[in-house]
Amino acid sequence: MPRHLTLAAAALLAVTAAARAQEFQPPGQRGGGATGGLRFDIIGFSTRGGGQVNKDEQVVLGSTVDIAELWSPQVRLRPSFEVGFGQRLTSIHAALEVIYRFQPDNAPAIPYVGAGVGYYDDSISHHTWPNLVMGFELPFRPSYNWLIEYHALDRLGRHRFLVGLATRSAGGS
Protein backbone atom coordinates (compact mmCIF):
# COMPACT_ATOMS: atom_id res chain seq x y z
CA MET A 1 0.00 0.00 0.00
CA PRO A 2 2.73 2.58 0.77
CA ARG A 3 4.25 1.86 -2.64
CA HIS A 4 1.00 2.97 -4.34
CA LEU A 5 0.98 6.16 -2.29
CA THR A 6 4.59 6.85 -3.29
CA LEU A 7 3.77 6.34 -6.99
CA ALA A 8 0.68 8.55 -6.71
CA ALA A 9 2.69 11.29 -4.98
CA ALA A 10 5.40 11.10 -7.67
CA ALA A 11 2.79 11.33 -10.45
CA LEU A 12 1.11 14.29 -8.74
CA LEU A 13 4.47 16.04 -8.37
CA ALA A 14 5.25 15.51 -12.07
CA VAL A 15 1.85 16.87 -13.16
CA THR A 16 2.20 19.87 -10.84
CA ALA A 17 5.66 20.69 -12.21
CA ALA A 18 4.38 20.49 -15.81
CA ALA A 19 1.37 22.68 -15.03
CA ARG A 20 3.54 25.27 -13.29
CA ALA A 21 5.78 25.49 -16.37
CA GLN A 22 2.90 26.61 -18.58
CA GLU A 23 2.53 30.35 -19.07
CA PHE A 24 -0.80 32.01 -19.81
CA GLN A 25 -0.80 33.83 -23.13
CA PRO A 26 -3.78 36.15 -23.54
CA PRO A 27 -5.55 35.94 -26.92
CA GLY A 28 -4.21 39.30 -28.17
CA GLN A 29 -0.58 38.16 -27.76
CA ARG A 30 -0.77 34.83 -29.58
CA GLY A 31 0.89 34.52 -32.91
CA GLY A 32 -1.00 34.68 -36.17
CA GLY A 33 -3.37 37.54 -35.26
CA ALA A 34 -5.27 37.39 -38.56
CA THR A 35 -8.46 35.42 -38.68
CA GLY A 36 -11.00 34.97 -41.37
CA GLY A 37 -13.18 32.17 -40.15
CA LEU A 38 -14.40 30.53 -37.00
CA ARG A 39 -12.10 30.09 -34.03
CA PHE A 40 -13.31 28.07 -31.06
CA ASP A 41 -11.44 28.68 -27.82
CA ILE A 42 -12.00 30.14 -24.38
CA ILE A 43 -11.39 33.76 -25.35
CA GLY A 44 -12.75 35.44 -22.23
CA PHE A 45 -14.62 34.81 -19.03
CA SER A 46 -16.64 37.15 -16.82
CA THR A 47 -18.34 37.03 -13.46
CA ARG A 48 -20.85 39.72 -12.56
CA GLY A 49 -23.53 40.74 -10.13
CA GLY A 50 -26.29 43.31 -10.06
CA GLY A 51 -30.01 43.55 -10.04
CA GLN A 52 -33.22 43.20 -11.98
CA VAL A 53 -34.94 46.53 -11.54
CA ASN A 54 -38.49 45.70 -12.61
CA LYS A 55 -40.88 42.71 -12.71
CA ASP A 56 -40.05 40.86 -9.49
CA GLU A 57 -36.99 42.87 -8.46
CA GLN A 58 -34.07 40.55 -7.81
CA VAL A 59 -30.40 40.43 -6.93
CA VAL A 60 -28.66 38.76 -9.88
CA LEU A 61 -25.38 36.79 -10.07
CA GLY A 62 -24.07 35.58 -13.39
CA SER A 63 -21.23 34.52 -15.60
CA THR A 64 -20.30 34.35 -19.29
CA VAL A 65 -17.66 32.55 -21.34
CA ASP A 66 -16.59 33.80 -24.78
CA ILE A 67 -16.22 30.50 -26.63
CA ALA A 68 -15.75 31.49 -30.28
CA GLU A 69 -14.77 34.27 -32.66
CA LEU A 70 -17.13 34.45 -35.63
CA TRP A 71 -15.16 35.64 -38.69
CA SER A 72 -13.61 38.53 -36.73
CA PRO A 73 -11.89 38.94 -33.34
CA GLN A 74 -14.58 41.48 -32.46
CA VAL A 75 -17.58 39.18 -33.03
CA ARG A 76 -17.90 36.65 -30.24
CA LEU A 77 -20.24 33.81 -29.34
CA ARG A 78 -20.89 33.44 -25.64
CA PRO A 79 -23.18 31.46 -23.40
CA SER A 80 -24.34 33.34 -20.31
CA PHE A 81 -25.93 32.14 -17.11
CA GLU A 82 -27.66 34.18 -14.39
CA VAL A 83 -29.44 33.36 -11.15
CA GLY A 84 -31.81 35.90 -9.62
CA PHE A 85 -32.85 35.99 -5.97
CA GLY A 86 -35.90 37.96 -4.89
CA GLN A 87 -38.37 38.19 -2.04
CA ARG A 88 -40.88 35.95 -3.79
CA LEU A 89 -38.99 34.19 -6.58
CA THR A 90 -35.70 32.65 -7.59
CA SER A 91 -35.03 32.71 -11.33
CA ILE A 92 -32.59 31.11 -13.73
CA HIS A 93 -31.67 32.62 -17.08
CA ALA A 94 -29.43 30.83 -19.60
CA ALA A 95 -28.69 32.34 -23.01
CA LEU A 96 -26.54 32.01 -26.11
CA GLU A 97 -25.54 35.44 -27.43
CA VAL A 98 -23.55 36.92 -30.29
CA ILE A 99 -21.62 40.00 -29.15
CA TYR A 100 -20.03 42.70 -31.32
CA ARG A 101 -17.14 44.46 -29.56
CA PHE A 102 -16.53 47.90 -31.11
CA GLN A 103 -12.85 47.95 -30.08
CA PRO A 104 -10.07 45.33 -29.88
CA ASP A 105 -9.18 43.77 -26.52
CA ASN A 106 -6.28 46.18 -25.93
CA ALA A 107 -8.39 49.37 -26.30
CA PRO A 108 -8.80 51.63 -23.25
CA ALA A 109 -12.59 51.18 -23.35
CA ILE A 110 -14.49 48.42 -25.13
CA PRO A 111 -18.19 49.07 -25.76
CA TYR A 112 -20.24 46.13 -27.03
CA VAL A 113 -23.76 45.17 -28.10
CA GLY A 114 -25.32 41.82 -28.75
CA ALA A 115 -28.39 39.71 -29.12
CA GLY A 116 -29.27 36.14 -28.39
CA VAL A 117 -31.85 33.62 -27.32
CA GLY A 118 -32.42 32.95 -23.65
CA TYR A 119 -34.38 30.57 -21.47
CA TYR A 120 -35.93 32.00 -18.29
CA ASP A 121 -37.50 30.01 -15.45
CA ASP A 122 -38.77 31.42 -12.15
CA SER A 123 -40.79 28.34 -11.05
CA ILE A 124 -44.05 30.13 -11.93
CA SER A 125 -43.36 30.56 -15.62
CA HIS A 126 -40.70 29.52 -18.08
CA HIS A 127 -40.04 31.12 -21.45
CA THR A 128 -37.62 31.14 -24.33
CA TRP A 129 -37.27 34.56 -25.92
CA PRO A 130 -34.79 36.89 -27.63
CA ASN A 131 -32.67 39.08 -25.38
CA LEU A 132 -30.44 42.11 -25.90
CA VAL A 133 -27.11 42.94 -24.30
CA MET A 134 -25.07 46.13 -24.18
CA GLY A 135 -22.19 47.19 -22.04
CA PHE A 136 -18.56 48.21 -21.89
CA GLU A 137 -15.30 47.13 -20.34
CA LEU A 138 -12.64 49.32 -18.75
CA PRO A 139 -9.08 48.22 -17.88
CA PHE A 140 -8.41 47.07 -14.33
CA ARG A 141 -5.20 45.00 -14.54
CA PRO A 142 -3.26 43.72 -17.57
CA SER A 143 -5.51 40.66 -18.06
CA TYR A 144 -8.67 41.88 -16.31
CA ASN A 145 -11.30 44.47 -17.14
CA TRP A 146 -14.18 45.94 -15.19
CA LEU A 147 -17.46 45.49 -17.00
CA ILE A 148 -20.81 47.20 -16.79
CA GLU A 149 -23.65 45.50 -18.63
CA TYR A 150 -27.34 45.92 -19.33
CA HIS A 151 -29.35 42.78 -20.12
CA ALA A 152 -32.87 43.13 -21.58
CA LEU A 153 -34.99 39.99 -21.25
CA ASP A 154 -38.62 39.13 -21.95
CA ARG A 155 -38.93 41.23 -25.12
CA LEU A 156 -37.62 44.28 -23.19
CA GLY A 157 -39.93 43.53 -20.25
CA ARG A 158 -37.20 42.71 -17.69
CA HIS A 159 -34.16 44.91 -17.15
CA ARG A 160 -30.95 43.75 -15.48
CA PHE A 161 -27.92 45.90 -14.69
CA LEU A 162 -24.69 44.08 -13.86
CA VAL A 163 -21.14 45.00 -12.77
CA GLY A 164 -18.23 42.58 -12.71
CA LEU A 165 -14.79 41.50 -13.86
CA ALA A 166 -13.79 39.96 -17.19
CA THR A 167 -10.59 38.24 -18.26
CA ARG A 168 -9.32 39.41 -21.61
CA SER A 169 -6.00 39.93 -23.36
CA ALA A 170 -3.21 41.85 -21.62
CA GLY A 171 -3.53 44.74 -24.05
CA GLY A 172 -0.88 46.92 -25.55
CA SER A 173 -0.17 49.30 -22.66
Domain positions in the chain are 34-167
User: What is the rounded CA–CA span in Å between residue 76 and residue 39?
Assistant: 10
User: What is the rounded CA–CA span in Å between residue 134 and residue 129?
Assistant: 17
pLDDT at residue 162 in the model = 93
Q: Percent helix, strand and coil across the chain, each rounded to 5? A: 15, 60, 30
Res. 24: pLDDT tops 50: no
Phi, psi of 144 (to 5 degrees): -130, 145
Which amino acid, 157? G
Which pLDDT band, with edges at 50, 70 and 90, does 53 fall under?
A: confident
User: What is the rounded CA–CA span in Å between residue 113 and residue 125?
Assistant: 27
Res. 172: pLDDT tops 80: no
| CB of 39 closer than 8 Å to CB of 66 | no
Would you identify the CATH topology of the domain 34-167?
A: Porin (2.40.160)
pLDDT digits (tens, 9 = 90+) for 123-162: 888 889 899 999 999 988 888 899 999 988 877 778 889 9
User: What is the rounded CA–CA span in Å between residue 84 and residue 71?
Assistant: 34
Res. 20: pLDDT tops 50: no
Cα–Cα distances (Å) from 99 to 124, 169, 172, in that order, read 30, 17, 22
Kindly tell me the sign of the dihedral angle through the C-alpha atoms of 146, 149, 73, 118. Answer: positive
